[in-house]
Structures are given as C-alpha cells and as structure tokens.
A and B are shown apart, each in its own frame.
Chain A
Amino acid sequence: MRPPIFFRAVRYLVAMLWLLLAVNIHSECVFGQEPAANEVPAENAISERPDSNAEQLDPVQVAFFEDNVLPILKERCFSCHSHDQEISGNLALDFASGWKVGGDRGPAIVPGKPENSLLLQAVRGEIADLKMPPEESLSPEQISTLQQWITQGAIDPRAARAETTATEPWWSYLPIHAVTPPTSDVNAQHPIDAFLNQKIHEAGLTTNPIVERRTLLRRLMIDLHGVVPTSEELIAFQNDNAPDAYERVVDRLLASPHYGERWARHWFDWIHFADTHGFEHDVIRIHAWPYRDYVIQSLNADTPWDRWVREQLAADAFFPNRTDLIPALGFLAAGPWDHSTAATAQTTFDYIDRDEMVTQVSSVLLSSTVHCSRCHNHKFDPIPQSDYYAMQAVFAGVGRGNVPFDRDVTVGARRQAARKLQQAAEARDASQLLTITVQKMVADWEQRNQQQRTQWAPLLEDMVLALEGTEIKVLDDHVVLATGPRPATETCIVTGHTDLSSVTGIRLQVFRDDSFPMGGPGRNDNGNLHLNEFIVEHLKEGSATPVRVPISQAMADFDQTGWTIAHAIDGNPSTAWGIFPEVGKDHTAVFQFATPLTLGPKDKLIVQLRQLHGGFHTIGKFRLTLSSDNNPQQTLLPQEVIDALAIPRDQRSDVEQLSLAAFVAKQQAIEVLNSLPSPSYVYATAPQFESLTESPFYAPWTTPKKVHLLKRGDIAKPADEAVPGVMSCLTHAPSRFQSETIQNEAQRRMELARWVTHSDNPLFWRSIVNRLWQHHFGRGLVDTPNDFGRMGSVPSHPELLDWLANELRDSGGSLKHIHRLIVTSEAYRRSSELRPEVSSVDPDNRLIWRGPSGRLDAETFRDSLLYLARSLDQQTGGPAAQWFKLGPGIQITPSVDYTNFDWSQPVAHRRTIYRFVYRGIQDPFMEALDFPDAAQLTPIRTPSASPLQALALWNHDFVLYAANEIATYCRRQQADDPVGCAFRTLFLREPTEQERLKANEFTAQHDLAALIRVLINSNEFLTFR
C-alpha cells in the first residue's frame, strides 16, 4: 500500500530541497580563458560536497585547506590527477579518498608526516623519476603550504566522488519503448487520455469536464494560429452540428499557412534566431529572413521531422540539386556573432563560434547539455569532454556569412553545371573537358567561329595625347608605346579614322615589353595596369561636338579577381580592369558597341583610356583596332587557341585540344552564368559564404580547421586533436566518425545529421514531441525541454512520451500528426478551472486533470488586435518588417528608435512573426510582454505581470492605435450596437445587462475606442482559459 500521492509529493519535495541545499550545483560552461585556480578560487561542486564528517573537522583547518591548498591542487595537479580530466598513475587528487588510497605507488600523503608523503617528495623533486608537476615546479611558497597542511594532519573535507557515471542507465538514453495505451479506463476513447486517465484515477482524482465551444475555439486558435477567433468564426463553429465539427476545425487550422507562422515562432525562441549579430557590434543581417520563411514553409509542408533536421544541418550536402533548400542552413547561424572577437582574437573566436553550434544542436535537437563538458567531463551526465570537442570538430569547416542560392532549382542546376564547367576549364581537367559533350560544344563553336572570324582594321591615328606627361611613341602597325616619365595616373586620348563604313566594336590590345617592370604591359612595379574607364566618341564631319558611343559589353582574355573588364565601362572612375598576376604577357579586351556605328569617310573616332587608379598602374604599350563584324567578341582568342585552331582538328594533340576545350568551355560557362538571374542570399552557416562588408577579415577557409581538446577549456592549454564525432553515451551508431569522412567538411555534417536523426536515436524523437506537448499544454511531459539529463526533470508520463515519440517516427515524422493527436484528446479540451480539492493535491497539473490556460503572448496579443480590427496583413514571407526608425550609429551598429512609430503604416500590419528582431536593441513593447532575449536559447518563455507591462498595455501607441481601429470596425459593422459589437469582438459573447449598463454610461461620455481600450486590457481578453 503506497502512501497517498500528496504525501509522496511532500516526501519528494523534502528530498529535493535537501539535495538542493546540500549539493551546490554549478558548472562553468562559458568561453574565455578560465582563470587559473590560484587566481580565482573556483569551488568544484563535487569536490566540495561536504563529507558527513565535515562537521567534526576543525573549521579553521578546513578553511586553510580550501583557501590555500585546494587552489594549488586545482591549478597544478588536477589536469592529470582528477576525474574530470585524467587520472595519471591512477592517482586522483580531487577527493580525499584519492590521495588516501593513492595511485600506483601507494598513498600519496601520510597525514602529519610530510617527509613520508610521496606527494611532497614529488613536488620537491626528491624522487628522480617522479618530479611533479613535470613541466614547471611549484613555487617554494606553494610547497611550504602543502607541507604545512600535511604536517597539521592533511585535513581534507572532500567526501567521496559524486556519482557522475551511475551504473543504472538514465531514462532518456534508453531506446524508446514500444508502448501500447493502457486499457484500464474503458471510457478513454483517445490513446492520450488512456495514458493520462490511468494516473489521474490512480491518484484518486477526477478530470475537469470538456469545455464549451467558445473557450475551446479560442484556446485552439491561439494555440494553432496565434490569434483569437472572430465572432463569425465562433458562430460558424457553434452552428456546426456534425459530430466531427471540432476535428474539421483542427484540420482546417493545421492546413492553413498561419499554422506555420505561429509555430515557427516557438522554433525561433528555441534556437535564438534574430536579424542582427548581437554583441558589441550589433550589425544587421539583411539576409536572415529567408531562413525564417524556410521554417514557416517547412512547417506548413509538414516536412518529416528527421528530413527537416537533415536539411537544416546539411541541405547543401544531402540535396545538392535542391538549391532552394540552402536557406535551411540558417539554423546553425541563428545565434549571436561577435564581430570584435572575430577581428582581434581569432582562436578564441573559433572556439566560441563552434560552441554556439554545439550548444544549439545538443540543446535543441537532443535536449542534452553537451556544452557543459567544455572545461571538464560532464559532472552529471555521461558526456566526456572529448565528446564536446568531437562535436566542435564537426563544424570546423563551416563559417557564417551570406550564402548565395537559387530559389528556382532549374536556374540552380544551370548555375551549378556552368560553375562546374568553369572550374573544370580553369583546372584544365581533361576528364571533364575531353568528354563527348564538351567536344561537341567545341566543335559547334569552331564551326560558328570559322564562319565569323572577325577581321580587325587598325584605328588610323591622327593624334595621340597623354595628359599627364607620358612620352608617346607610335610604332609600326599603329602600336602606341609609353616612354619617358612615369606619372602615377594617365589619360591617353587617341583620335583617328578608318576606312570601315560601319563599326561594331573596338579591340584594345596591350603588349608586354622588356622596357616595363616585370615585362608589363602595365608600368606599375609589378607589371600591372588599371584601366578605369574606356570611352569612345564619334565626331561627325563638320561637327564640333563629339557624341558618346554606347558600349554594351566588354570582354577580356583575363580579368584580375575583382578587377574585371566590366569595370572599364561602368562609368565609375574608382573601379578598373586589371591583369595581375598574368603580367609579362599580352592581353586583349574587346568592347562591343550597343548598335553598329555608321561612319562617314571623314568622321573621326576619339578613344579615351582613363588610367586613374594611381601608383603607376598605367598602360605601357597598346593598339586599337576596329571591327565591322556582327559579334566581334567571338574572336577574343588567346594565342594558344589561335595556334590550336590553325591545326586541323584530327591532327591536334590532346594538349592542343584541351587548351581549345578549356577556352570554349570557360567562355560558354561564363555566358550561361551571365545570362542567369542574380542569386538570392541567406545568412547561414556553410563552407562557402560571402563575407559581410563590415567583416572582410572573416572569410571561408578550404579545409576544416584543427580542433583540440582544451584542458580546462583554456585555449592556452590545447591537448589532443579532436576527432569529429558525437555523444558516446548513445549506442545507436558509432560516436566517432570513420577516418575517411574526417577530411571532408560536408561529410562531417552529414554524419552528424545521420546520427542525430537516426530512427533509433531516443533523444531526437523524444525531444520534439515533448516540445510540442509543452506548447499545447503550457509545460512539457519533461518540464526541462533542453535537458533530459540528470539535472533535468524526469517525464511525468514516460510511457506517453515514448508512445508519442513512436507515433512521430512511425508516421513518417509528421509533426502535424502529433499536433492533431494532442489537440483532439479530451485532456486538451478540458476546462482549465482550478478545483481546490484537486489542485491542493496536484497544484501544477502534472497529471493533466485540467486543460491549458495562460496569458496571450506578445505575438498573439498584437496579431489578435489587428486581426479583430480586420487589418492584419495576410501576406506571407519577405524581408523583415522594421517597426522602428534606423539612424546612423556611432560605429557600425545603427541607432534604433522605437518611439513615435506610426502604426498606421502598412508594414506595421504584418504578422509579428515577420517582425525584425533586433538582438541587442529589443523592442521595449515586445519585451514588456515577455518576448525573450535572443542572446540565449529560450525553451520556455516566462510570462509575467508587472506594473511596467500594465503601463505598456494601457498606454502604448500600438494598443491605442489598435483600439481605435477596432472601434472604427465596430461602428462600421454594427452602427446600431457598437457596444455589443465591442464585446462580441473581444470577448466573443454578449455583454451582461450590468456590463451593458456600465458600457453605455461610459461611452456616453467617452469614445468607443476608450471602451475598447478597457476590454483589451481586461483579463478576460488577455488570458485564455
């Protein structure tokens, strides 16, 4: 016979409190060099756990040990002699029993006898093969402290080691049980109720009745859509007499896009998503929002849970053809990013940034606190420090930035193919270029090219001017050579004529010459040149005013990275074409006119070559020629291609054929790439990304960085290099990745994703069903959603949790299936009224004898007001809605002003999910309603009631604006009974006689909006029951 449940609860409570008082549990889990122990007295929770004899120890001696001895042991000995790190020579010094029993050489200390104590002999260096610590001796003061301690009896209050790796397996690591719903309650129609009712009945309690439809619909719509229903929606539901009326409402709500908009917000709380960096420089991430839209769309599409997570960890690797899934990679980039540390403390930064990713993956997807093992083995869960660094190593090849992607997968496929071809061409990869396809491409090109071999005629120069003082010589063949002084910049103007009657383009050839540094063709010390602008003008016979000839495109045989020929025609004098590092060689650029230019016999062409960059980046030797062909660019051929073309195809060597193929393939690839629409961008975590303008110092790297296990979490104390892997306490798959997958960055993430989403990973499936349950009922079956370890709670209904996890897995990962199961249960539909006789036994509703209740959260409150005013914008997706004024900041963080915002603007009517979340400069109104700090993962919001919140609800501009909007709606909709309309709109009911009396009296004196302000602030509206 067990004691009544109430007494068991009290007994448990007493036990818990004793534990909390006795064991002072904490752990350092944050980056930064942990100060050495003798500098900062760190008390170790386990080692300081008081012995049952502690009271009998002399407190002066205990204090001496703790203040003087323990810091020495921690700082100089623990790294090799403690349970958290390693136990060298089988000697542990983190507990009294460790030195009492001793290691391989016997007890380390003989109390009262320093001369007989191995430990003291070792630190004094008296034993030849046992000088400790091996790297650097203790100071004389430290040795004398130890000696004094031992002489006085080696008083050590540290009791036996706490059980960090208990032998009995912990519930959350065990495989998910196959469970069938109990049959004890024959009235329970729904499997969830079968589980719940059994415990309720066992406790001798009764459940609340099913709630009436008004309360139920309100509860359901807040839950699934984040808005309260309109009175029309309620009437429709009340008038539906079909037995499955409720189920159809559930189906309709789950099928609506607003379901995803509502539940995405929970996800973003969990993963601390925001639109800015946070930290010292809180820079805007203008491309964060595509990830937000991706999450909403995935929820609406009911993407299977395991697939969804695989996408978010490694969509690029798993689904390379689905370029539209790249926004999924925003998951790992959701959290803060420290610009300053990235700029000035790179090593620290790398470990912090990967810590961010490890924390998010383990907390959100696995409900585990792997991040607690950064400085030492986990104190409570079987998670060694090496597991933590193994997970860090998974992310050693990825960084954060703007990642380009194609929403249209056909565009994406073409872009990928063209890039691949371009890369093959640049690498001269015969295996990809001497294929039938590419050879066909080459043959086709050759044929076209044969037909269109461009003829070039020289521009016959009448005058060549150099404005900055270069001496010009015109050589044979109309080649212009710069000699003499070397000005920093130069503008060269060539005026000339031609016999051609029509010109379609102009060619600039620049030539190497031994008279230039590095052989030129530029006059800079490195042989480079910069052509900032290339301008052609047409001077008609008899005219005094030259007319600019528009150039439609330009192409060069070589472009310096970032200095393409396009810069020479972009009208921007601060950008230019360059040819570094391909110096000492001839180069060619062709400029195609927008339309063919008709020339009279005495017309002139004036060509300006503006070389304004400075630093002697001027052109040393060049020639201008003209073409009348339709497509003059076709003939921009490097010498080796011209040579290859001169040989009949069947007589070419492979090398010759390859250089031709490389040229053609690259040209075609670039043509395709130029024809494609610009890519979209998402701020995400990936191996390749574009650095943000503010942080050019942070750029992608090619091979994964080395990650070391850090002793005490200190970057100054790297130990062995970490092998990529995962938590070793789970057994469904190996915890360290195979060596062949270690080198490849993408495979590391894929391995992680496979391991996380494995059908036998018990944490992965339990974690999410628990979170869903939590948001439906206000608290999870495990009420520590980010921690299923020993410091977390145990499930209130373990069988139900496993049953739900199985349901999710076996339904193909459908989250909507779980939602539907939960909200169609009787438990969900029960009245939430507190019955003292039951709540005295189960005050926290752990048995779920009553339905959920609570306060509207920040988003629901805001969206509901607009929804009821019929002015909530139904548009989905797009850039984040900024409900503030941005101004220039002192540094790169802008100023953000939330005051005096005009709420009547269309952008203010977007759903709150589309709000721009400024991580470090939060919206005070949203905060007043308990919107969490996006600097941290928020598995549970904590609703509050404070005077400042009351002031915000009563006086904030938005609320007053919305009150007025709802008043306008009511006056328009029901001019004969606006007061009744106000009650029906906000309370979904008619006013009582008493209320109507008061309301009429009030509105006789004041505006209807003033009444609506009261209704909005009332608990009947602000809470759901």
Chain B
Amino acid sequence: MHDSNSTIKPCRREWLRHAGESFNWLALASLLSRDPLRAAEELPASETLQPSLGGELLVRPDGGLHHRPRVRRVIQLFMNGGASPMDTFDYKPALEKYHGQSLGPKEKPEGFTAPAGAVMKSPFKFQQYGQSGRWVSEVFPHQAKWVDKLAFIMSMASKTNVHGPGSYMMNTGFTLPGFPCFGAWISYALGNLADNLPTFVVLPDPRGLPYNQRGNFSSGFLPVKYQGLMLNAAAAEPIPNLRPASQFGFAQGSADQQGLELLQQWNESFAAEHPHDPQLRSRIAAYQLAAKMQLSAPEAFDLKSESATTLEQYGLNQPTTEDFGRRCLLARRLVERGVRFVQVWSGPQGAANNWDNHGSIIGELPPIAASVDQPIAALLADLYQRGLMEDTLVVWTTEFGRTPFAQGSVGRDHNGGSFATWLCGAGVKEGVSYGASDELGYQAVEGKAYCYDFHATLLHLLGIDHKRLTFRHAGIDRRLTDVHGKVIHDILV
C-alpha cells in the first residue's frame, strides 16, 4: 500500500515551484527587501513564506546567502570567440625557440577546425609591468598599467574546443543548452540591490549576438524572470516597453498615468474581494515596481550627466573605443544604481570583429583588443575613484584559448586546453597570479581551473556556498558548478 501520509508533502521544492502563490511572495519579498539593511524587518510574515525556505534562499542581513559577502555586484567582460592567451597575458618565450616546428597533435583533435600547424610565436612584443612584473603584450597597453590591481588565473581550461558548448560552459557550467547562466543563478539567489532597475543586464555587442545567441543569458530551468535582460545600449530607450510607442496616441500622457492609477485601484478592490490570494498582491507589487522603473531607468541610461573627461577616458570620443566604452560606462552606472550583475560582450559571433582569430593573429587581434583596452582601464579607474570597488567585482573572461600552433600561416585555432582570465575588485588579491600553462601555452598544467572553480570563487565572494545553491530539476538538485568546483582561495584576500 502507498503511504497515506503522501497527500501532504510541502517540502522545499514544492514551494519553489509553486510559483503562483508562495513563490511570488518570495519574489515580492525579494524585490522589496533585497537591500540587506532593510531585509530583516521588511520580510512579510506570511504563513506561505516558511522560515525554513530561508535556509536556501533568503538573504542574510549581511547580504550573503551562506556567509558574509565581499562582493555585492559584478561586471563581467566577455571576450567572445576565444581570446588568445599567448598573444595577450600569457607570455611564452619558448614559442620563439620552437617557432616553425611541428610539435602539435598529429591528428585533428575533436573540435579543432583544422589540423594543427607548426608552432607560431606571438607577433607582439611583451613587456613587464608594475611591481608585480606581470608580462603583458603590446595589444593591451592600458590594462597593462593595472596589473598590480588584477588577480590572474593563468590555468583556465574548457571541456570543449567548440564555441557553442564552450560559451555555454563559461556561462552556465554545462556544455549543453538548457542550464541557467551565472547571472540567472545569482538573480535567483540574491535578487537585486535596488527595486527600480533590473537585476541582471546583458549588453551584447551591437554588431551581433554571441555564439548560442541568447542561450548564454538564459535562466534555463530557473523561472524565466531570472534570465538576463538584453539591452541595446545604443537605443533611445534601452529598457523595452518602458513607454508606449508614439503610434498609440490613446496611451500617452495623462491617459498613461491615470490609467495606471485606475488599474491599481481596481486591482486593490479585486484583491479585497479575494483577500487570501497572495498572487494578487504580488502582481500589484510588480506594477508598482514597474512604475518605479519607468522613473529611474531613463536616468540610469542617460550619459549626459557624465563629464567630458569621463567620456574621453572611456574612449567615447574615438571610433575604435566608442561602443565598448559606452557599454562599460553604462555598466558602471547600472551597478552604481543597484543592478546586481552586468555582462558586457566584446565581439559578435562569426568570423570577424571578435576574438576568434583563425585567419590572422597579427591582423585580427589588435583591432578588437584596442576596442576594449582603454575602456576597461577607464572602468577600473572609475570604479576605484568612486569607491565602488569596495563591493564590486570586475572579471575579464572568454570561452577558451587558442593554439600555440598556427592555423593557416598566421592564425590560431580553438584550444580548450588553456586560457587566461582576471578578476579585480572587492575581496580579490592585487597583483597576483594563479596557475600556469605549459611551456607553449597549450595545456594548463599547474592549478588547472575550470569554469566550476571560477564560478565557485565568484559565488564565494558573493556570500554563496556553490555547493548549497541548488535547484531541483528533473530529479537532480542542480548546481551552477555541477558536481565540481573549488574556491580558488589563493587569489582571495
């Protein structure tokens, strides 16, 4: 016989899934009380919000989920296409020695687009910078000045040599589609810092979406509202649906404002008729927050209040840096106003204008590098100058590296074996480096780190134990870090 107790089983996942009711309360609670200073007293004492729920999802008064956070907001700079490590941050003098020799794999490895060519030295000059003496190539003269503030992971590796799976992996921890990305996980876990702006904003390259299109910003099996809000930074009104389009004359001006007031009145009386339905209250709250967003968002996206000096520092006065500079500046404005996570993409998918330099490292890398270099340096300076680095983290990432072997004569192929990333800001050691690739920069050999370790480290900084941030999906308590992940404490303060 079946257990007759089974009729009532309000276990954790039921609450999570039971979105119409308790979960929306949770959402409401999140939206209203994400500011840790307000968190404690403003949580509604609803019976549907079980205290044990807090074990997983309710933010502690200090703003973390499991421990005290060092970081409250994150800007991720994503170099789309596989930024070459040995031509940027991973100086490999041995490439000079072996230049022209056939040392690569004899057969085409899975995911390489062509058989490996001969070893190819970097066409760029490297130089040491700062007290840390970090080697940086001439393609990044501006970031080079900041090496004493950066913490490098020089031994990143991917499970794949293919863009699609590789981009999924760096964003979601899995090589297949359908999984929530990092931004969705932290939106789900921590919610926002302010209630008048979105939680997770994506600023793609206006020339086109990255590989996997919007799959990289997906909430996967988490509720759809946790996905990244993709904005066109160049649009007049970057947040969609903020105002009715002008063609709808009946919806403008006072009709808009008075209509919203009427709506709230009628929704209130409807809620009064159905006093025990929490769904109705959370919907009312959503409209109230929408109204707040209408007021706040335009200001957040309006760069007019920025000084000419600032605009110049971000490179908005030069065609090369104008676009990425604008998006970096927007990222700063957004995190400053309480957006939790901003992802800024450099380069669209495809064979040009990105970091996927199959054809020619010397021809294709310098322009894309120049487009981001000065804006990134300006962003760091700006964040420090405004004191935002006290609780902001900036990370520089890509989906995999490139081969030390030539593709064609002067290009490089995909290589999941080794790539570089850096972190900067709250909770991160300054001027350090972790791990190493081999002599050629082909494989990570020392302190090999996957996205799991990278994500675990980011979550740790945000006050989250990556092993305890889970969501039950299809019979598995899924994690951002799958069954892996180790916080890289060596680079943390």
Please provide the chain A residues from 788 to 823 with a CB less than 8 Å away from any CB of chain B in the complex.
Answer: 789, 791-799
B2 x A369 contact (CB < 8 A) = no
Count of A interface residues, CB-CB < 8 Å: 142
Name the one of B223, B229, B230, B241 contacting A944, with C-beta atoms under 8 angstroms.
B223
Beyond A26-B477, A890-B348, A952-B241, whether A855 also contacts B279 by CB under 8 A is yes
Beyond A17-B55, A783-B17, A1005-B255, whether A341 also contacts B178 by CB under 8 A is no
A792 x B483 contact (CB < 8 A) = no
* Interface-lining segment among B19-27, B116-124, B126-134, B136-144: B19-27
| Residue B68 CB within 8 A of the other chain | no
Could you say which residues of chain A place their CB within 8 Å of the CB of B486?
41
Name the one of A794, A936, A946, A956 contacting B2, with C-beta atoms under 8 angstroms.
A794
Most A Cβ at <10 Å: residue of B254, B279, B474: B474
Mark contacts of B462-477 with chain A using CB atoms, 8 A cut-off: 1 yes-contact digit, 0 otherwise.
0000011010101111
A843 x B27 contact (CB < 8 A) = no
Beyond A372-B475, A1013-B251, whether A340 also contacts B163 by CB under 8 A is yes
Closest to B180 in A: A933
Query: When chains A and B are docked, how far (Å) is the Cα of A439 from the Cα of B11?
Result: 75
Beyond A933-B218, A1023-B280, whether A45 also contacts B159 by CB under 8 A is no
* Interface-lining segment among A152-160, A489-497, A907-915, A924-932: A924-932
A25 x B477 contact (CB < 8 A) = yes
A789 x B475 contact (CB < 8 A) = yes
Name the one of A372, A933, A957 contacting B224, with C-beta atoms under 8 angstroms.
A933
- The smallest beta-carbon distance between A18 and chain B, in angstroms, is 10
Beyond A8-B8, A922-B214, whether A944 also contacts B274 by CB under 8 A is no
A921 x B280 contact (CB < 8 A) = no
Could you say which residues of chain A place their CB within 8 Å of the CB of B248?
957, 960-961, 964, 1009
| Residue A456 CB within 8 A of the other chain | no
Please provide the chain B residues from 136 to 179 with a CB less than 8 Å away from any CB of chain A in the complex.
Answer: 157, 159-165, 167, 169, 174-179
Could you say which residues of chain B place their CB within 8 Å of the CB of A798?
2, 6
* Interface-lining segment among A95-103, A252-260, A599-607, A830-838: A830-838
Mark contacts of A948-971 with chain B using CB atoms, 8 A cut-off: 1 yes-contact digit, 0 otherwise.
111110111100110110010000
Query: When chains A and B are docked, how far (Å) is the Cα of A373 from the Cα of B480?
Result: 20
A945 x B227 contact (CB < 8 A) = no
A844 x B14 contact (CB < 8 A) = yes
Name the one of B287, B292, B450 contacting A40, with C-beta atoms under 8 angstroms.
B450
Query: When chains A and B are docked, how far (Å) is the Cα of A338 from the Cα of B167?
Result: 13
A1005 x B475 contact (CB < 8 A) = no
* Interface-lining segment among B89-97, B105-113, B312-320: B105-113
Most B Cβ at <10 Å: residue of A33, A348, A369: A348
A16 x B287 contact (CB < 8 A) = no
B263 x A947 contact (CB < 8 A) = no
Query: When chains A and B are docked, how far (Å) is the Cα of A314 from the Cα of B255?
Result: 58
A944 x B255 contact (CB < 8 A) = no
Could you say which residues of chain B place their CB within 8 Å of the CB of A779?
18
B290 x A951 contact (CB < 8 A) = yes
B159 x A948 contact (CB < 8 A) = no
Query: When chains A and B are docked, how far (Å) is the Cα of A922 from the Cα of B474?
Result: 23
A1019 x B280 contact (CB < 8 A) = yes
Query: When chains A and B are docked, how far (Å) is the Cα of A74 from the Cα of B118?
Result: 36
* Interface-lining segment among A111-119, A680-688, A744-752, A846-854: A846-854
Query: When chains A and B are docked, how far (Å) is the Cα of A960 from the Cα of B245?
Result: 9
Please provide the chain A residues from 754 to 805 with a CB less than 8 Å away from any CB of chain B in the complex.
Answer: 778-779, 783-784, 786-787, 789, 791-799
| Residue B41 CB within 8 A of the other chain | no
* Interface-lining segment among B203-211, B332-340, B387-395, B400-408: B203-211
Closest to A787 in B: B475
Beyond A13-B10, A842-B8, A924-B240, whether A369 also contacts B474 by CB under 8 A is yes
Could you say which residues of chain A place their CB within 8 Å of the CB of B102?
none
Query: When chains A and B are docked, how far (Å) is the Cα of A850 from the Cα of B472?
Result: 27
Could you say which residues of chain A place their CB within 8 Å of the CB of B223?
930, 942, 944
A9 x B110 contact (CB < 8 A) = no
Please provide the chain A residues from 633 to 654 with a CB less than 8 Å away from any CB of chain B in the complex.
Answer: none
A344 x B215 contact (CB < 8 A) = no
A933 x B219 contact (CB < 8 A) = yes
Could you say which residues of chain B place their CB within 8 Å of the CB of A924?
230, 240
| Residue A363 CB within 8 A of the other chain | yes
| Residue A21 CB within 8 A of the other chain | yes
A338 x B164 contact (CB < 8 A) = yes
* Interface-lining segment among A274-282, A427-435, A582-590, A725-733: A274-282
Could you say which residues of chain B place their CB within 8 Å of the CB of A944?
19, 23-24, 27, 223-225
A345 x B161 contact (CB < 8 A) = yes
Name the one of A34, A346, A833, A840 contacting B274, with C-beta atoms under 8 angstroms.
A833
Query: When chains A and B are docked, how far (Å) is the Cα of A948 from the Cα of B239?
Result: 9
Closest to A932 in B: B224
| Residue B125 CB within 8 A of the other chain | no
Could you say which residues of chain A place their CB within 8 Å of the CB of B175?
30-32
A895 x B208 contact (CB < 8 A) = yes
Could you say which residues of chain B place their CB within 8 Å of the CB of A841?
8
A280 x B277 contact (CB < 8 A) = no
Could you say which residues of chain A place their CB within 8 Å of the CB of B214?
920-922
| Residue A891 CB within 8 A of the other chain | yes
A930 x B224 contact (CB < 8 A) = yes
| Residue A839 CB within 8 A of the other chain | yes
Mark contacts of B1-35 with chain A using CB atoms, 8 A cut-off: 1 yes-contact digit, 0 otherwise.
01111111111111001111111100110010000
B8 x A946 contact (CB < 8 A) = no
Name the one of A784, A940, A961 contacting B475, with C-beta atoms under 8 angstroms.
A784
Mark contacts of B210-250 with chain A using CB atoms, 8 A cut-off: 1 yes-contact digit, 0 otherwise.
01111100111101110101100000000111111100111
A9 x B290 contact (CB < 8 A) = no
Closest to A44 in B: B483
Could you say which residues of chain A place their CB within 8 Å of the CB of B477?
20, 24-26
Query: When chains A and B are docked, how far (Å) is the Cα of A949 from the Cα of B282?
Result: 12
B110 x A42 contact (CB < 8 A) = no
- The smallest beta-carbon distance between B320 and chain A, in angstroms, is 20
A955 x B483 contact (CB < 8 A) = no
A12 x B8 contact (CB < 8 A) = yes
Beyond A369-B475, A946-B225, whether A954 also contacts B241 by CB under 8 A is yes
A954 x B482 contact (CB < 8 A) = no
A795 x B270 contact (CB < 8 A) = no
Name the one of A791, A793, A920 contacting B476, with C-beta atoms under 8 angstroms.
A791
A797 x B245 contact (CB < 8 A) = no
Could you say which residues of chain B place their CB within 8 Å of the CB of A416?
none
Beyond A933-B224, A956-B241, whether A947 also contacts B163 by CB under 8 A is no
B250 x A1006 contact (CB < 8 A) = yes
- The smallest beta-carbon distance between B372 and chain A, in angstroms, is 19
Beyond A17-B12, A936-B221, A954-B260, whether A1014 also contacts B266 by CB under 8 A is yes
A344 x B162 contact (CB < 8 A) = yes
Query: When chains A and B are docked, how far (Å) is the Cα of A383 from the Cα of B448?
Result: 33
A1020 x B476 contact (CB < 8 A) = no
Name the one of A25, A32, A945, A998 contacting B282, with C-beta atoms under 8 angstroms.
A945
| Residue B410 CB within 8 A of the other chain | no
A26 x B478 contact (CB < 8 A) = yes
Name the one of A344, A791, A835 contacting B113, with C-beta atoms under 8 angstroms.
A344
B224 x A13 contact (CB < 8 A) = no
Which 5 pairs, one residue from A and one from B, show the smallest C-beta to C-beta distance?
Answer: A936-B178, A280-B164, A935-B177, A920-B213, A890-B350
* 10 extra A-B contacts, CB within 8 A, seeds A30-B179, A40-B450, A341-B164: A20-B11, A20-B12, A41-B484, A344-B111, A778-B20, A847-B8, A853-B277, A947-B292, A949-B286, A951-B242
Interface residues of B (CB under 8 A from A): 2-14, 17-24, 27-28, 31, 47-48, 50, 52, 55, 110-113, 157, 159-165, 167, 169, 174-179, 195, 198, 207-209, 211-215, 218-221, 223-225, 227, 229-230, 239-245, 248-251, 254-255, 258-260, 262-263, 265-267, 270-271, 274, 276-277, 279-280, 282-287, 289-290, 292-294, 348-352, 448, 450, 452-453, 467-468, 470, 472, 474-479, 482-486
9 contacts between A and B (CB under 8 A): A12-B9, A345-B162, A380-B475, A835-B276, A950-B289, A950-B290, A960-B245, A963-B250, A998-B262
